[in-house]
């Protein structure tokens, strides 16, 4: 198979077109996104949390989630560390206080509503949306159920309805998006009897958190968890002890999740653009090498053939000459022989006539 120049240019154009139409590289670019202006968030102050589980109750109620196995006022469930699941958008876990063993520490878990969410970046059907109000929402009507969001989420928040055969959904906190869109408080914030949960603009919450750290020296570690973790989250945390003591990972870094894959995604159009050129080039070089080799061998064969022909011709003419000579000699010899024989016969005839008697006796003896 050979390729014409027109064909090659056609492929090149097709590849280029594919690369251009392929995807917007900006969508996963390394531009730092600091959140929608004026977007909302929640500040969770673990120092003020009393572990009453009212937030869990409130969340369950406003989101119409199924009733738990043990009632919400049963505080013994906090003896084991729980996580969010398909029936629970938020849980409060209890941790030992390294400073005051008698007064335990608490930590509320729910979706952190990242500024640049890993789940949204990972979803191949865009089921997740970072809304301008701050909530990361999920659209079950397009979800295929690949669960890559669960792999991607650094906070291990999304849960799946593995029990459902026909309409399994990802389940996670929505920051009560329907409620906050109407100006209401998220269910958990509304249910909190202390000021452990504050809802407001993220910028304001950061100021509030800094103020608390400044106002009460020694009460808090000087870090607002969520300000920069994974590029920043809408949910912010204050703690009296290092965050890892209350089960929060301190090794996540500050790189937003989309940046982790941006480089590879940006390489895609390059592969689509360069590979056809490279591969067609390799093919063409091999094809040409083959052609050159073929031509060379053909030439060599022609030379060899010519030479052989020449040799054969000389040999033939030599042989012919030889044959002719031999033939002539043979004829000569034959003639000579024939003449000799004739002469002999003549001689014999002559002697036969003279020796007739002896000839008869010989015949008798033979018989």
Partner 1 sequence: MSEESTTTSRSYLTPFNMIAGIIIILGLIVTALRFTKGLATVTNLSDYNPWGIWIGFDLMVGVALAAGGYVTSAAVYLFGMKKYHSAVRPAILTGFLGYALVVLALHYDVGRPWRLPYPFIVQQGTTSLLFEVAACVALYLTVLFLEFSPAALEWLGLKKVRRLAIRFTLILTIFGVILSTLHQSSLGALFLIAPSKLHPLWYSSYLPIYFFISSIIAGLSMVIFEGTLAHRYYAHKMDSAHMEEKDHVALGFGKAASFVLAGYLITKVIGISAGNHWHLLGTGYGIWYLVELLGFVGLPCFLYALGVREKNLVLIRWTAVLTVIGVVLNRLNISLIAFNWHLPSSERYFPHWMEIVISAFIVTIGLVAYRFIVSRMPIFYEHPDYKESH
- Part in contact with partner 1 (CB under 8 A); list of ranges 44-52, 106-114, 141-149, 350-358: 141-149
- Part in contact with partner 1 (CB under 8 A); list of ranges 95-103, 107-115, 286-294, 345-353: 286-294
DSSP string across 68-133: PSS-TT-GGGGGS----BTTBS-EEEEE--SS-TTS-EEEEE----BSS-HHHHH-TT--EEE-TT
* Nearer to partner 1 (CB atom), residue 144 or residue 295: 144
What is the distance between the terminal CA atoms of the chain, rounded to a whole angstrom? 90
If one asks whether residue 247 binds partner 1 (CB under 8 A), the answer comes out as: no
Whose tokens are 């959904």? That residue is 169
Give the nearest distance from C-beta 191 to partner 1 in angstroms.
Answer: 24
* Nearer to partner 1 (CB atom), residue 199 or residue 225: 225
User: Of 223, 255, 249, which is closest to residue 236 (Cα–Cα)?
Assistant: 223
* Nearer to partner 1 (CB atom), residue 47 or residue 148: 148
Strands 170-171 and 197-201: unpaired
# residues near partner 1 by CB under 8 A: 69
* Nearer to partner 1 (CB atom), residue 109 or residue 175: 109
If one asks whether residue 1 binds partner 1 (CB under 8 A), the answer comes out as: yes
Measured distance CA(58)–CA(73) in Å, rounded: 12
Both tokens of residue 270? 């390059």
- Part in contact with partner 1 (CB under 8 A); list of ranges 19-27, 130-138, 345-353, 357-365: 19-27
If one asks whether residue 189 binds partner 1 (CB under 8 A), the answer comes out as: no
Is residue 135 within 8 A of residue 39, CB to CB? The reply is no
Window 87-126: contact mask with partner 1 (x via CB under 8 A):
-------------------------------x-xxxxxxx
User: Which residues make beta-bridge pairs with 136?
Assistant: 130
User: Which residues make beta-bridge pairs with 235?
Assistant: 42
Give the nearest distance from C-beta 166 to partner 1 in angstroms.
Answer: 8
Cα 133 to chain centroid, rounded: 34
Query: Which residues 25-64 are close enough to bind partner 1 by CB under 8 A?
Result: 27-28
If one asks whether residue 268 binds partner 1 (CB under 8 A), the answer comes out as: yes
If one asks whether residue 86 binds partner 1 (CB under 8 A), the answer comes out as: yes
Q: Which of 96, 290, 302, 333 binds partner 1 (CB under 8 A)?
A: 290
Q: What angle do CA 252, 258, 264 make, to 5 degrees?
A: 110
Alpha-carbon dihedral sign for residues 260, 261, 264, 267:
negative
């Amino acid at each position: 198979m050979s390729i014409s120049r027109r064909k090659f240019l056609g492929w090149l154009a097709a590849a280029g077109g594919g690369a251009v139409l392929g995807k917007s590289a900006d969508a996963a670019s390394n531009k730092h996104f600091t959140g929608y202006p004026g977007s909302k968030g929640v500040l969770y102050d673990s120092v003020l949390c009393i572990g009453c589980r009212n937030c869990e109750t409130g969340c369950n109620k406003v989101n119409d989630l199924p009733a738990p196995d043990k009632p919400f006022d049963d505080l013994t469930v906090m003896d084991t560390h729980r996580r969010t699941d398909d029936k629970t958008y938020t849980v409060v876990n209890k941790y030992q206080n390294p400073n005051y063993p008698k007064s335990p520490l608490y930590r509320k878990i729910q979706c952190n509503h990242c500024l640049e969410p890993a789940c949204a970046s990972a979803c191949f059907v865009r089921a997740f949306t970072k809304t301008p109000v701050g909530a990361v929402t999920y659209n079950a009507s397009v979800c295929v159920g690949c669960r890559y969001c669960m792999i991607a989420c650094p906070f291990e928040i999304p849960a799946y309805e593995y029990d459902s055969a026909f309409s399994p959904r990802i389940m996670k906190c929505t920051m009560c998006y329907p409620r906050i869109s109407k100006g209401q408080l998220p269910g958990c914030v509304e249910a909190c009897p202390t000021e452990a949960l504050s809802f407001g603009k993220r910028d304001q919450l950061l100021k509030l958190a800094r103020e608390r750290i400044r106002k009460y020296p020694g009460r808090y570690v000087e870090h607002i968890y969520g300000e920069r973790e994974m590029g920043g989250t809408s949910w912010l945390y204050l703690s009296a002890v290092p965050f890892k003591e209350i089960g929060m990972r301190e090794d996540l870094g500050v790189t937003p999740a989309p940046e982790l894959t941006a480089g590879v995604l940006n390489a895609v159009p390059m592969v689509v653009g360069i590979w056809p050129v490279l591969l067609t080039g390799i093919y063409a070089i091999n094809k040409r090498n083959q052609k050159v080799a073929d031509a060379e061998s053909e030439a060599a064969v022609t030379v060899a053939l010519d030479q052989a022909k020449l040799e054969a011709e000389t040999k033939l003419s030599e042989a012919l000459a030889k044959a002719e000579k031999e033939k002539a000699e043979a004829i000569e010899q034959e003639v000579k022989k024939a003449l000799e024989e004739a002469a002999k016969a003549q001689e014999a005839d002559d002697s036969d006539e003279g020796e007739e008697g002896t000839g008869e006796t010989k015949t008798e003896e033979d018989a």
